[in-house]
């Protein structure tokens, strides 16, 4: 027991009572004398807590990693052991309550251990077993895409509703490696009121200033949030943990409550009898916090009512740790990225074929495939921090998911494309019209202009499409990217772009997880080429180093100021980090990085320790930098880790260098991580604003599909404002045949848009993520030209369109 009241008489009274208890016990007859020893303690144990004592809501918990140092299949057994244990403890201790936070784990139990699952359902009825967390798994939230996060809520909440009759209201993510700033809005749209994690206590630079606060997302939505000050999700409910909670709690002046999740995780069985007994013993003791075993929702209701004016934290919750998880295990990350875009295509085209031709909509297949993809977004799979076995299986699963989704897409496109007579139809699943093909529509194939091609100029190569002129030198490095429309050079004077840089990457402790700031102290620039030559409409560059080989094809597509870099890597490095650098002549105050359903702005300077700690950051499909009037974007099809640095040159200009983290090679927990062949694509878009960055990001990730046929396919839905991006088009999960559309404002401004349906529209209803009517939503009037919408910056809207 830890005492923090050294001047209190209480300390001396307790020590005296313990002395009497020890005197009373006869070690030759413990059974016969224990009662006397207990009696000696009765007085001090009967003294109640102070009226002002901190209040702790304790709840049984077992943090079970859905895969990590074991494969998925082992987790089924861990879950069965844990649930067997806790339901037995519930029989013995009617006051004991336990939260279970990943719907997938209960779904496994239902399938593999129905008798244990029945016990959980029985104990849910008595209020002891508490389905919690609202998500399918506890996912990564840096890398997971926006629509995936929406479906994490849909499938998690729906499972708890259907199986347990419980509407969960918490987002429970104690162990995830950082939290994107779109989450508050997604939570609210899923009917989730509370957010809990403790992971920010792992920050290595800055101490997070609050334990209880309102978290405000990019659109302005606020969610009441709590970080248990016990700083663990595996408390043993000891006096030391209770004392630490009280001591750490940073909001003491205005609030007096915190939560402790107690119990062994990862197959350790959850809470023990001893922990439950400690919670009871610590309920009401002088000098200690009061402890009540109760559900998280009860804690949150009371915490909010005592602290309704809690401070506000705006924007992302960046974890100053585990930055390597943005890059480790590239193939797993690519599997997720591809799956997310294929799911979008499959739903869109299947819905279009269903509405236009009455084709059957693959409800079951899509439900199953979504759940498979959601499972692999677990916070040790998608971040790349599991053993090789897990990642090997994930890659096989993603290949199967891609095969099935391509099958569904193919079936729908064949139905839509109409009879072929040697003709071809081009389908565009992106939210922007492309080369004469409308968004979500199809048009007969036309001659597409060839890439600009490259010409030899002295010992350099020049690619010029009338918008952008790129010079590649004899080393295969880009020495100039001239924006012909703006009449300015994109690259900093004397610099080279697409410079591949190899860093030693030896983190202090967590190999697959961490990149340390000191990695920048050593670097090898890969400037020596094996080959630089004209090829396939562009320039091919081959480099070998160590045991590895990189082949890049640089091309300039027609009609856009963008250079595409298609990279094939045969990677056999160990403990190395491969970066691709683009030093730009731009004085950017901040970068804009795509995150789920929007983007975040991060300063380029390192004025504060908070800015300095963000030396490796996450971006989804684009990272944009700009000064007033001009900007550039790096877009990618695989990469999440980025870093941005700035320097002021002797000529007074500012160089802002953006680098993509292409590959790592950690050795723990998978000694073979990232070894072998990879292919990834990225592009530099010159003269780009945010609208260009959004569009080019989608373009790179959603290539058009050419199918034999002759039909022109009109879009099922159209939004007429460039900032309004339609993210999902599907048939309603209730199988009513209604079309569900999810869209968002993507530029960070206000948008007045008209949504037009390509079918007779009976009614429009605004819904939550689970496609349930939002009671507080205003009416949407269907006019002749469609539905008028007003969106605030980054607002997400789900609409149910009845036919």
Least Cβ distance, residue 65 to Zn ion (angstroms): 4
Least Cβ distance, residue 389 to Zn ion (angstroms): 17
CB atoms near residue 602 (< 10 Å): 21
Least Cβ distance, residue 379 to Zn ion (angstroms): 6
Say if CB 229 and CB 258 are below 8 A apart.
Answer: yes
Interatomic CA distance for residues 635 and 620, integer angstroms: 8
- Geometric angle at alpha carbon 430, from 427 and 435, rounded to 5°: 60
Least Cβ distance, residue 92 to Zn ion (angstroms): 28
Binding mask 124-163 for Zn ion (x = CB under 5 A): ----------------------------------------
589 sits near Zn ion (criterion: CB under 5 A): no
284 sits near Zn ion (criterion: CB under 5 A): no
Number of residues that bind Zn ion (CB under 5 A): 2
Reported as half-sphere exposure (CB side, CA atoms, 13 A), residue 583 has a value of: 20
- Cα–Cα nearest to 303, from 247, 343, 251: 251
Interatomic CA distance for residues 173 and 189, integer angstroms: 18
Integer CA distances (angstroms), 82 to 93, 107, 706, in order: 16, 15, 51
- Cα–Cα nearest to 562, from 485, 465, 631, 644: 465
175 sits near Zn ion (criterion: CB under 5 A): yes
Q: Which of 29, 175, 251, 530 is catalytic?
A: 175
Interatomic CA distance for residues 214 and 225, integer angstroms: 6
Burial of 27 (0-12, 13-18, 19+ CB in 10 A): exposed
Least Cβ distance, residue 589 to Zn ion (angstroms): 36
Least Cβ distance, residue 116 to Zn ion (angstroms): 22
CB atoms near residue 111 (< 10 Å): 10
Cα torsion 161, 163, 165, 168 to 10°: value is -50
Binding mask 50-79 for Zn ion (x = CB under 5 A): ---------------x--------------
Interatomic CA distance for residues 186 and 459, integer angstroms: 53
- DSSP letter string over 527-556? ---SEEEEETTEEEEEEEETTEEEEEEEE-
Least Cβ distance, residue 174 to Zn ion (angstroms): 8
Least Cβ distance, residue 384 to Zn ion (angstroms): 14
Residue (175 or 733) nearer to Zn ion, CB? 175
Residue (129 or 172) nearer to Zn ion, CB? 172
Q: Which two tokens stand for residue 676?
A: 């072998």
Q: How many residues does the chain have?
A: 803
Residue (65 or 347) nearer to Zn ion, CB? 65
- Selected range binding Zn ion among 173-181, 365-373, 474-482, 661-669, rule: CB under 5 A: 173-181
Interatomic CA distance for residues 93 and 280, integer angstroms: 10
Residue (143 or 725) nearer to Zn ion, CB? 143
In the residue annotation, 175 being an active-site residue is answered as: yes
Least Cβ distance, residue 322 to Zn ion (angstroms): 11
The dihedrals phi and psi of 378, each to the nearest 5 degrees, come to -55, 150
Q: Is the dihedral of CA 336, 338, 344, 348 positive or negative?
A: negative
Residue (175 or 704) nearer to Zn ion, CB? 175
Residue (378 or 571) nearer to Zn ion, CB? 378
Which H or E run includes 73?
A: helix 72-92
Least Cβ distance, residue 130 to Zn ion (angstroms): 19
Residue (385 or 655) nearer to Zn ion, CB? 385
Residue (203 or 706) nearer to Zn ion, CB? 203
Integer CA distances (angstroms), 89 to 113, 121, 276, 748, in order: 18, 15, 9, 51
Interatomic CA distance for residues 557 and 451, integer angstroms: 4
Say if CB 196 and CB 226 are below 8 A apart.
Answer: yes
Count of helix runs (H) and strand runs (E) in the chain: 15, 41
- Selected range binding Zn ion among 170-178, 238-246, 423-431, 681-689, rule: CB under 5 A: 170-178
Residue (386 or 654) nearer to Zn ion, CB? 386
Residue nearest to Zn ion (CB): 175
Which H or E run includes 591?
A: strand 590-595
Reported as half-sphere exposure (CB side, CA atoms, 13 A), residue 162 has a value of: 11
- Selected range binding Zn ion among 167-175, 457-465, 576-584, 795-803, rule: CB under 5 A: 167-175
Binding residues for Zn ion (CB under 5 A): 65, 175
Just list the catalytic residues. Answer: 175
């Amino acid at each position: 027991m830890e005492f923090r009241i050294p001047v209190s008489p209480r300390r001396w009274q307790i020590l005296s009572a313990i002395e009497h208890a020890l005197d009373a016990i006869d070690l030759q007859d413990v059974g016969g004398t224990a009662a006397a020893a207990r009696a000696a303690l009765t007085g001090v144990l009967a003294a109640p807590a102070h009226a002002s004592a901190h209040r702790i809501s304790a709840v049984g918990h077992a943090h079970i990693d859905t895969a990590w140092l074991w494969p998925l299949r082992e987790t089924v057994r861990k879950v069965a052991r844990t649930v067997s244990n806790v339901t037995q403890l519930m029989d013995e201790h009617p006051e004991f309550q336990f939260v279970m936070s990943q719907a997938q784990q209960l779904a496994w139990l239902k399938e593999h251990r129905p008798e244990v699952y029945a016990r959980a359902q029985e104990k849910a009825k008595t209020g002891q077993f508490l389905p919690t967390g609202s998500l399918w798994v506890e996912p990564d939230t840096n890398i997971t895409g926006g629509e995936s996060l929406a479906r994490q809520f849909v499938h998690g909440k729906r499972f708890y509703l259907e199986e347990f009759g419980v509407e969960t209201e918490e987002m429970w993510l104690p162990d995830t490696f950082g939290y994107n700033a779109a989450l508050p809005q997604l939570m609210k749209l899923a009917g989730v009121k509370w957010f809990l994690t403790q992971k920010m206590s792992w920050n290595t630079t800055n101490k997070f200033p609050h334990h209880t606060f309102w978290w405000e997302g990019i659109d302005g939505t606020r969610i009441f949030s709590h970080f248990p000050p016990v700083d663990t999700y595996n408390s043993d409910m000891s006096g030391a943990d209770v004392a630490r909670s009280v001591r750490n709690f940073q909001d003491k002046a205005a609030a007096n409550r915190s939560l402790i999740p107690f119990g062994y995780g990862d197959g350790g069985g959850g809470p023990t009898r001893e922990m439950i007994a400690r919670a009871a013993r610590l309920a009401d003791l002088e000098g200690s916090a009061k402890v009540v075993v109760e559900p998280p929702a009860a804690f949150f209701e009371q915490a909010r009512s005592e602290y309704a004016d809690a401070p506000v934290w705006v924007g992302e919750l960046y974890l100053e740790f585990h930055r390597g998880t943005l890059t480790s295990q590239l193939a797993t990350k690519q599997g997720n990225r591809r799956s997310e875009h294929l799911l979008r295509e499959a739903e869109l085209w299947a819905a279009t074929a269903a509405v236009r031709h009455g084709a059957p909509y693959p409800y079951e297949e899509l439900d199953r495939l979504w759940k498979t993809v959601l499972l692999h977004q677990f916070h040790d799979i998608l971040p790349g921090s599991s053993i090789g076995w897990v990642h090997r299986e994930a890659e096989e699963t993603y290949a199967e998911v891609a095969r099935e989704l391509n099958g569904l897409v193919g079936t729908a496109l064949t139905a839509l494309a109409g009879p072929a007579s040697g003709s071809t139809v081009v389908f565009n699943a992106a939210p922007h019209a492309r080369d004469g093909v409308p968004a979500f529509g199809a048009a007969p194939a036309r001659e597409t202009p060839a890439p600009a091609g490259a010409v030899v100029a002295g010992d350099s190569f020049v690619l010029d499409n009338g918008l952008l002129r790129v010079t590649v030198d004899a080393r295969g490095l880009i020495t100039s990217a001239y924006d012909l429309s703006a009449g300015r050079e994109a690259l900093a004077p004397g610099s080279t772009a697409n410079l591949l840089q190899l860093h030693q990457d030896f983190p202090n402790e967590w190999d697959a997880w961490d990149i340390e700031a000191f990695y920048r102290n050593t670097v090898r620039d890969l400037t020596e080429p094996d080959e630089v030559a004209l090829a396939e409409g562009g320039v091919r560059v081959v480099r070998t180093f160590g045991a590895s080989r990189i082949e890049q094809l640089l091309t300039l597509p027609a009609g856009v100021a963008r250079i595409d870099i298609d990279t094939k890597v045969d990677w056999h490095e160990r403990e190395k980090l491969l970066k691709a650098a683009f030093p730009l002549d731009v004085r950017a105050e901040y970068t804009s990085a795509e995150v789920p359903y929007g983007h975040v702005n991060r300063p380029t300077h390192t004025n504060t320790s908070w800015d300095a700690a963000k030396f490796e950051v996450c971006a989804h499909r684009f990272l944009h930098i700009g000064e007033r009037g001009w900007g550039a974007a790096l877009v990618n099809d695989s990469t999440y880790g980025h870093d941005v640095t700035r320097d002021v040159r002797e000529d007074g200009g500012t160089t802002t260098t953006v680098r993509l983290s292409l590959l790592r090679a950690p050795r723990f927990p998978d000694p073979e991580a990232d070894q072998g062949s990879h292919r990834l694509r990225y592009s530099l878009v010159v003269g780009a604003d945010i609208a260009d960055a959004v569009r080019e990001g989608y373009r790179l990730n959603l290539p058009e599909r050419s199918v034999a046929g002759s039909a022109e396919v009109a879009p099922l839905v159209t939004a007429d404002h460039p900032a309004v991006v339609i993210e999902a088009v599907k048939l309603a999960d209730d199988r009513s045949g209604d079309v569900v559309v999810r869209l968002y404002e993507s530029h960070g401004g206000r948008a007045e848009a008209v949504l037009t349906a390509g079918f007779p529209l009976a009614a429009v209803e605004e819904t939550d993520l689970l496609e349930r009517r939002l009671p507080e939503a205003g009416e949407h009037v269907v006019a002749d030209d469609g539905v008028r919408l007003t969106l605030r910056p980054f607002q997400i809207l789900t609409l149910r369109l009845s036919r």
